[in-house]
Amino acid sequence: MVPWLLDLLVCPTCAHQPALALTEAEERDGEIVAGTLSCPDCRQSWPIRGGIPRFVAADQDYCDNFGFQWKHWKAVQIDRLSGHDLSERRFMTDSGWAPDWIKDRLILDCGCGAGRFTDVVAQKGGRVVACDLSQAIESCHETTRVHEGRVACIQASLFELPLRRESFDGLFCMGVIQHTPDPAAVMRALPAFLAPGGALAYNFYEADFWPKLQPLKYALRLLTPHLSTSATLKLSETLVRLLFPLSHALSGIPKIRLINHVLPICATHDPRLDREQQFVWTLLDTFDWYGPRYENRQKHRDVGYLLRAGGLDVVECRPGIVNARKAQP
C-alpha cells in the first residue's frame, strides 16, 4: 500500500466516515506490505496483505471467476506488456478524457481487473486508486508496480467503497457495471466520490438487439454461471478451438463476417493483433462471456437520465457509453 492512500481511506460502514488507523505496519521499499486498518468508532478492522488493503469478506465475492481470469491472463490486455495499444485507444475513446487533463489528476478505477486501464492512466501521469472485488486486484498490483507509487490498489466492493467522498478528479467504471447484481445502485453511488467538477466515464453492455442474434451464447449462459471455474474454462477452450479457425476465416470477408456474431464465442480479429494474440483474446473474452454470475444490460438513455437525476451534467450519451461531469457548487 502506498502511504498516500491512507489519507483517502475511511470506514465504509460508519455514516460520518471516520479516518482509519494503521497499526502493526510492515514496510518494504516505501510500501506498506502488511498491517491492520481499523475504525476508531465501530472497531471494525481490515487486514493489509501483500501490500493491498482487504475490505472484502469471503461471502461478498460473487465474481471469483474474474479473480481466476485476470490471474490467468493478466498481461494480455496490458498494452505495455503485450506490444499493442488497444487498451489506450479504447480508454481514450470511451472516456473522452484528454491526455493532458489526466496528468497529475487523482483517478478512481472502479473494477480494475488486471489493471488494463489503470496502467493507461498511470502512464499518462495520473495517480490512480484501483479497486476490485475479486482476487484480480493482486494482478493489478503486480502489473502496475512499475509506476513508482502512482497506483494504489484496494480490494473492496463498489457498494461499500472505503474512500473519502468528493476526493477524486475523475472516476471510470468500464466493463464492470453489467456484472454487478444492481447496476443502478452502483451507478448512483459512484458519483459521490467525485470532487465538484470531476469527470465520470461509464461503459457497459447496451440493452439492444445483439442478444437476439446470439441464441447459442444465451442458451449456454443458462448453465455456465452455475459451473465451476475449471469447467467454464474447459468449455470455453473447446468452443474456441473448434470455432476460431472458422471465425478467423470469416473475419476477412465483408458482410459474411457478420456471421461471427452468431457464433457462441467472442471472436476478436483486430488486425493490430497477430493470429496467436487473436486466439488468446478470443479465449479470454469467451471465458468472460460465460463466467460471470450476472449480465445486466442497460439502455444508455436510462443511464443518462439516472445521472442527470443525480445532479450530473451528461456530456456524452451513446450506446454502451455515458460520460458526465459533476456540477460545480
One domain for residues 152 and 263: no
Question: Tell me, what's the pLDDT at 15?
Answer: 80
Query: Considering the chain, what is the average pLDDT of its residues?
Result: 96
Do 312 and 229 sit in the same domain of this protein?
A: no
Domain-embedded: residue 295: no
Residues 48 and 71 in one domain: no
Domain count within the chain: 3
Domain that holds residue 317: 55-206+303-326
Residues 37, 60: Cα–Cα separation, whole Å = 19
Neighbouring CB atoms inside 10 A of 195's CB total: 16
Backbone angles phi, psi at 176, to 5 degrees: -125, -40
The string of pLDDT tens digits covering residues 203-243 is: 999 999 999 999 999 999 999 999 999 999 999 999 999 99
The pLDDT of residue 59: 64
* pLDDT tens per residue across span 66-96: 999 999 999 999 999 999 999 999 999 999 9
297 belongs to a structural domain: no
Separation between Cα atoms, residue 13 and residue 16, nearest integer Å: 9
**Contact indicator for 74, 183 with CB cutoff of 8 Å:** no
Rounded distance between C-alpha atoms, residue 61 and residue 133, angstroms: 6
pLDDT, tens digit, 9 for 90 and up, residues 149-194? 999 999 999 999 999 999 999 999 999 999 999 999 999 999 999 9
Lookup: cell for 297? 444490460
pLDDT > 90? residue 255: no
**111 in the same domain as 4:** no
Residue 140 lies in a domain: yes
The pLDDT value recorded for residue 57 is 81
Q: How many CB atoms lie within 10 A of CB 15?
A: 7
Same domain, 235 and 257: yes
Same domain membership, residue 47 and residue 61: no
Same domain, 87 and 216: no
Is the predicted pLDDT of residue 281 greater than 90, yes or no? Answer: yes
Q: Is residue 298 part of a domain?
A: no
**Mean pLDDT score, 98-127:** 98
- Give the Cα separation of 234 and 294 in Å (integer): 20
pLDDT above 90 (res 61): no
Q: Both 182 and 86 in a single domain?
A: yes
Q: Is residue 226 part of a domain?
A: yes
Question: Is residue 316 pLDDT above 80, yes or no?
Answer: yes
Position 201: which residue type?
A: A
Tell which residue, 208, 268, 270, has the closest CA to residue 243.
268
- Paired residues of 49 in beta bridges: 52
The reply to whether 114 and 170 lie within a common domain is yes
Task: Identify whether residues 241 and 161 lie together within a single domain.
Answer: no
Q: What is the pLDDT of residue 162?
A: 98
CATH number at residue 199: 3.40.50.150
Q: pLDDT value at position 277?
A: 98
Residue 220 located in a structural domain:
yes
How many CA atoms lie within 13 Å of 14's alpha carbon, on the beta-carbon side? 17
Same domain, 93 and 76: yes
Whether 296 maps to a domain, the answer reads: no
Q: Is residue 181 part of a domain?
A: yes
Co-location of 244 and 284 in the same domain: yes
Please compute the mean of the pLDDT values over residues 310-328 and round it to a whole number: 97
